[in-house]
Structure 1
Amino acid sequence: MRIFEVYKNQKNLEKGHVALKYRDSVVTYEDLASYIDKYAAYFQSIGVKKGDKVAISSPNCPEFIYSYLGASKAGAIVIPLNMMLTLQEIGYIVRESGANTIVIHPDIFQKLDKSNLSSLNIKNLVVLNEDFKSTVLKQGKPYEVDIAAEDICTYLYTSGTTGNPKGAMLTHNNLISDVIALDEASNLGPSDNFLCVLPMFHSFSWTVNILLALYLGSTITIKDSFMPKDIYNTLMNEGITVFCGVPSMFAVLVRMAKKGELKTLKLGISGGAPLPLEVHKRFEEIFGYQIIEGYGLSEASPVAILNPLEPDAVRKVGSIGIPLPGIQAKVVDEDDKEVPVGEVGELVIKGPIVMVGYHNMPEETAKTLRNGWLHTGDLARQDEDGYFYIVDRLKDLIIVGGYNVYPREVEEAIYQHPAVQDVAVIGVGDKLKGEDIKAYIVLKEGESLTKQELQKFLQERLASYKIPKIYEFVAELPKTPTGKILKKLLK
C-alpha cells in the first residue's frame, strides 16, 4: 500500500461517510478520493515527476492533506515544512533536499519577503488561494505512476547536533507499517472522530491524526490552532472520541474540564515530551481513565512504543509503554550489548517503521542505524514486565511544547551577534511546556547587550519556539581544562 491509498482500506463505508470536518465544510470519503486525484493531476500538469521534491508550508486544513497525498500520487517526495521556520531555515531545507516545488498557504505567503523567496530558485510556487482551487477543480484523473511501497515518499527534517537539520527518508511502507501497527494495538474504527489540532507537518500528528484515521475510516475534525476555549467547546459538542496532544495541551484541558462534561472522549494520547505526573493524575480523576503515553521519533515514522490502548490493559504512569506489534526495542550499553532489566542504557529500535537513512548524510546514517538498529540517542530502562521508561537524553535535546530544539543550533545563532563572546544553552523545567530554553551569555569586553535586543536579533534566524525565554549574562562559563563547557554545572 502507498500512503495515497490509505483510505481505501475501508471499502464498506456507507456512501457519504464523513472523512474531514473543517470550519463549516464537510468532506466525504468520496470527495477526498476525488480531491487527491485532482491535486495529483494538477502537480503532473506543472511538470512534477516521480522523485521530484515538493515542499508544503501550510497550517492545518484539508488542502494540506490533498497536497500531500496528491503530490505523493504524482510520484513526488513530500517535504512538510514547520510553519514557524524563518525563510533562512526554509532555504536550507529547500536547497539541501533539492525541492523544486513549494506549496504554500496564502496566510504564510503574505508574510514572506518575496525578494528573498525568489532566491530559492523554485521551479513551481503554488499558493493555495482561490484561483488555485478553481484551477484544481477543473483537473481530471492523473496518469498512473509506477510507485512501489518501498519508494521514498517523504523527507522529515529534524534538527541535528551539528545545528543543521537532517532529512529522515521514509518510504510509503514505513508510514503504512506504523499505521497498521497502531491499528492492531487499538480498538478504533469508522465511528471514531479524531480531533486534529497538532500541526499536520508534525510526524506524530500526520501519522496518527491523519493516516491512521483515514486507514480506519474515521472522521477527522480539523483545527488550525490551539485556542483553549474553542478546543474545549469542540471536545464537548462535536462528538470527538480521540484527542492527540502534547503535554501542555493536556495541562490546559484538565484546568478547564469538569467531571461528566466531555462525554464522548474515550482516548487521549500524549506525545512529544514527558507528561507531568500532576496532569496525569488530574486527567484520570476527571475522566476515569489515563492519558496514553508513548514514544516516537521522526526516524521511526514516528510511533514505536505505546502504552496499551485497550481499556482493560495495564498502563503504567511514567512509562512510555511497550513496542507496537511488529516492532522490537531494547536497551543497550556503549558496545551495543543489551543491558539487564532495570539498568539504564540507550534505547534502540528495529522494524519496518525505521527510516532508510538521512538524505545526503551517509556517516550520520551509518552511525544512527548501526548493527541494524535505530539508535535513538535517548537513555532508557526496561522493567520486568517489558515496559520502557525514558530516563534522560544522550543528546542535549530540549523539548519545548512538543517541538525539538537542539542547543547547538540556538548557540550558533546567538554566536552570530557581534557582542557575544561565549554562550551555552540548556533546557529548564516549565510546568506548562515541559521545558523552556535558557541561554548563559558572556559578552565581549566593552560590549553591551539586552535581552530585548538579542531576541529581536534572533527572530530573523530562528523559529519562535527556538528562541530562549530566559537569559543570564555571566562573566564566564564553567569549562573543562580542554575548553569544553560544563553544562552539568549550569543545570
Structure 2
Amino acid sequence: MSDSGPATPATRLQSTKFGDDLAPVTWPDEFPGTWEGCPREPLLQVLSRGIDRFGGQQVLLFDDGAAFTAHELREHAERFAGHLSTLLATGDRVVLALSNRAEYVIAFLAVLANRCVVVSVPPDIGTHDAQYAVDNAGCVLAVTEDSSDAVMRGLVGTVASLRTVIKVRDPEPSGFDHLLQGVTPLRLVDVQASLDDLVDIGYTSGTTGLPKALGGRHDETLRYMDVHLRRRRATTESMRMLMPLQLHYGDPLTYLFAAMCSGDSLVLMRKFSASRFWDVARASGATDILSIGAVPNLLLGRPEGPTDRDHKIRHATALAIPPDRHAELERRFGFPWSESYGSSESGPAISMPAHVAAEFVGSGALGIPLPDVEARLVDLDGHVVEGPGSGELELSGEIVFEGYLGNPAATAEVLHDGWLRTGDLMHRDARGVYYFEGRRKEVIRRSGINIAPAEVEAVLRRHPAVLDTAVVPVDDPVMGEEIKAYVELVPGATFDPARLSDFCAQRLTRQKIPRYIEHRVEPFPRTASQRIPKKELMVNGRHTTDAAWDRLGGQTHAR
C-alpha cells in the first residue's frame, strides 16, 4: 500500500457474460467510484475533519438512553491518549475486552493516537482464548471491565508481554478519568500516521485449527467507510442505523466512523434482545438496520402484533436473510430488506442494487459484486466456471486483505495469483447474480454426496415450531457421515421430531433429510454476529447422537 492520496476510480468490473434472454444486473452508472465516498488518508485525519464539521450532533446512542456527540468522544479519547503515551511505544498492541459502551470507542481512538494497534476480543472471553490472543499478538496492555478484568489480570506474569491492565469505571463516558489528573491531551489531528500502520488485529473462528490473526491497516477501515458513504449518497435524508451487534465485532465501529463524517448516527443495544428490539427502534428514532446472522429469524419468532410497524425504519441490510421468510419480513415489518456479502478477509464485496432488489425477494440472492470488485466461481477441479453455474467464490479487485499475520501457510491457502479464495460455495445465475450455497469446509459428505448444512437449515427454519437450528455431520460406519440437526423451538412448541423429519422429506431430496434430530433445551450459544458456533455444541470434540431422535430407529437415544 502507498501513501499517495486518493486513488483513481477503478474500472467497473461487473461482467456482462450471462445469457441473452435477460439483461445482466449492474450497478447504476452514477454509482460513485472507489474512494469518492471517503478519502484514502490516515484514519484519524479523516475522522478529525468529520468531527470538526458534525461533532456537535449525537453520533452514538444506546438502548438505555445514553447518547454522546463526536466532540465528547474525541475529547475523552485525546485525554486518554495522553495517559497512554506514557505507557506505550509506537506499534505496541493493546487488547480491548469491553462491551458496548462509549469507552470502547474512546480507547480505540486513544490507542490509534499513539500509533499502536488494537486487539479486539469479546468481554466474556475465556482464559484459554484470552491467553492465546494476548500471547499471539504480543499485547503489552489490556483495557477491561467487570466481566473481563479477572481473566486479563490473571495473564500478567503468565504472558510475558502483558505488563498493564486498566479497568474502566463508571460513570460513562468518564471511565478513564481516574487516571487523567494533570495529563496533557494528545490531539488526534496531530498524529502523523501512515496508511501502512496496523490499526487492529482480529481473530478468526475458523472450522479447523487455531484462530488466525487478521491485521487491518488504515485502508481496510477506510474501505468499509468508503463503501458505506458511496452508497449513502443515494439519499439526502439523515440516517440513524440500529445494529444488533457488539462494537468488538467491527461493523458497528466502521459505521460509527462513517457517521462521524456524514452527520449520521449509530444506535447500539448493550445486549441484543429480540423482545426489546422494536421498542429500541421506536424510542431511538432509528431509520435503518444492519443485521447479521440469526437476527431476522429471531425477530420473526416473536409473536406478531399491531406495533410491528410502529417505527421509522426505512430499510434493512442483512447478511443471510432466510429466503423463505424474506417476504414475511417485509410484509410484517413494513420495509424492504436486502442482502449483502463480505467476510473478515474480503471486506464489502457483493450487494444487491436497490433498483432491482424487489425482483429477488425470497430468492436467496445476495446481489452482484460491487463495481470495483471482481468475482469468479471455481469448480472442484480448479477450473473457472463461465456463465451460470456453481463453485467456490473467489474475489479480486479492491480487496485489501494481505494475509494472516505470522502465518504464511494459512495465507497461501487463501491467496493465489491475485485472487482470494473465500471458502464459500456459490451459484451464479444467468443475470450475474450470486447465491450462497454453503461453506466448503462445512459440507457433509454422505455416501459420496456433498450436502450443504445451510440448505437443510433453511428448510428447518421454515417450520413454525423451529426458532433456529444447526445442522452438522456425525460419523457413520456405513455412510461415512450422517446428518444431525440441533433444533431450538419457539416458546410453547412441542418437540415432535417425526413431524420435523416429514417436513424435511416434503422439501428435500432423500439424501438431505437429517437422520438425527436433537432438541436444544437451552438457547443456542451465539457469536458476536449472532451466528451459532457449532464447535460449542460438541461433546469431547465431536457431535454425538446420544440425546438425538433417530429417524431410522424412531426413538430418542438415552443419554
TM-score normalised by the shorter chain: which range applies? 0.7 to 0.9
> Which residue of 182, 191, 199 corresponds with 1:153?
199
Name 1:468's counterpart in structure 2: 537
Asked if 1:203 is matched to 2:247, the reply is no
Counterpart of 1:81, as a letter, is V
1:196 deviation in Å? 3.1
Asked if 1:166 is matched to 2:212, the reply is yes
Instruction: Decide which moves more: 344-353 or 326-335.
Output: 326-335
1:248 deviation in Å? 2.4
Instruction: Decide which moves more: 371-380 or 337-346.
Output: 337-346
Asked if 1:263 is matched to 2:302, the reply is no
| 5+ long unaligned stretches in structure 1 | 399-425, 443-450, 475-491
Question: Helix, strand or coil for the counterpart of 1:357?
Answer: coil
Asked if 1:119 is matched to 2:165, the reply is no
Asked if 1:67 is matched to 2:107, the reply is yes
> Which residue of 82, 93, 113 corresponds with 2:133?
93
Name 2:400's counterpart in structure 1: 354
> Which residue of 139, 145, 149 corresponds with 1:109?
149
Asked if 1:41 is matched to 2:82, the reply is yes
Contact 1:347 1:378 in 2 (8 A): yes
The total of aligned residue pairs comes to: 424
- TM-score norm. by structure 2 comes to 0.68
> Which residue of 255, 259, 281 corresponds with 1:235?
281
1:414-461: CA deviation from partner (whole Å, max 9, x where unpaired):
xxxxxxxxxxxx88736377542658589xxxxxxxx9xxx9xx9xxx
Alpha-carbon distance between aligned partners in 1 of 2:239 and 2:247, rounded to the nearest angstrom: 19
Alpha-carbon distance between aligned partners in 1 of 2:434 and 2:238, rounded to the nearest angstrom: 31
Name 2:442's counterpart in structure 1: 396
Contact 1:2 1:148 in 2 (8 A): yes
- TM-score norm. by structure 1 comes to 0.77
1:241 deviation in Å? 0.8
Alpha-carbon distance between aligned partners in 1 of 2:475 and 2:182, rounded to the nearest angstrom: 57
1:266 deviation in Å? 1.0
Counterpart of 2:545, as a letter, is E
1:325 deviation in Å? 3.5
Question: Helix, strand or coil for the counterpart of 1:94?
Answer: helix
Counterpart of 1:87, as a letter, is T
1:366 deviation in Å? 2.2
1:188-220: CA deviation from partner (whole Å, max 9, x where unpaired):
567211123301111333334x23333332112
Alpha-carbon distance between aligned partners in 2 of 1:465 and 1:84, rounded to the nearest angstrom: 18
Asked if 1:307 is matched to 2:352, the reply is yes
Question: Helix, strand or coil for the counterpart of 2:537?
Answer: coil
Counterpart of 1:308, as a letter, is P
1:178 deviation in Å? 2.4
Name 2:117's counterpart in structure 1: 77
Contact 2:350 2:368 in 1 (8 A): yes
- Greater Cα radius of gyration, structure 1 or 2: 2
Alpha-carbon distance between aligned partners in 2 of 1:129 and 1:465, rounded to the nearest angstrom: 35
Alpha-carbon distance between aligned partners in 1 of 2:373 and 2:235, rounded to the nearest angstrom: 20
Alpha-carbon distance between aligned partners in 1 of 2:537 and 2:119, rounded to the nearest angstrom: 27
Question: Helix, strand or coil for the counterpart of 1:45?
Answer: coil
Asked if 1:58 is matched to 2:98, the reply is yes
Asked if 1:140 is matched to 2:140, the reply is no
Alpha-carbon distance between aligned partners in 2 of 1:113 and 1:56, rounded to the nearest angstrom: 10
Name 1:375's counterpart in structure 2: 421
Cα gap change, 1:321 to 1:258, in 2 (>3 Å):
farther
Counterpart of 2:158, as a letter, is S
Contact 1:195 1:220 in 2 (8 A): yes
1:49-84: CA deviation from partner (whole Å, max 9, x where unpaired):
221111111111111111112212211111111334
> Which residue of 324, 328, 350 corresponds with 1:282?
328
Question: Helix, strand or coil for the counterpart of 2:194?
Answer: coil
In percent, how many aligned pairs have the same letter? 22
Instruction: Decide which moves more: 10-19 or 163-172.
Output: 10-19
Alpha-carbon distance between aligned partners in 1 of 2:317 and 2:133, rounded to the nearest angstrom: 30
Instruction: Decide which moves more: 196-205 or 148-157.
Output: 196-205
Cα gap change, 1:218 to 1:113, in 2 (>3 Å):
closer
Cα gap change, 1:177 to 1:246, in 2 (>3 Å):
closer
Cα gap change, 1:289 to 1:342, in 2 (>3 Å):
farther
Cα gap change, 1:220 to 1:54, in 2 (>3 Å):
same
Instruction: Decide which moves more: 388-397 or 71-80.
Output: 388-397
Alpha-carbon distance between aligned partners in 2 of 1:164 and 1:145, rounded to the nearest angstrom: 35
Alpha-carbon distance between aligned partners in 2 of 1:45 and 1:354, rounded to the nearest angstrom: 33
Asked if 1:333 is matched to 2:379, the reply is yes
Counterpart of 1:303, as a letter, is P
Cα gap change, 1:11 to 1:28, in 2 (>3 Å):
closer
Cα gap change, 1:252 to 1:109, in 2 (>3 Å):
same
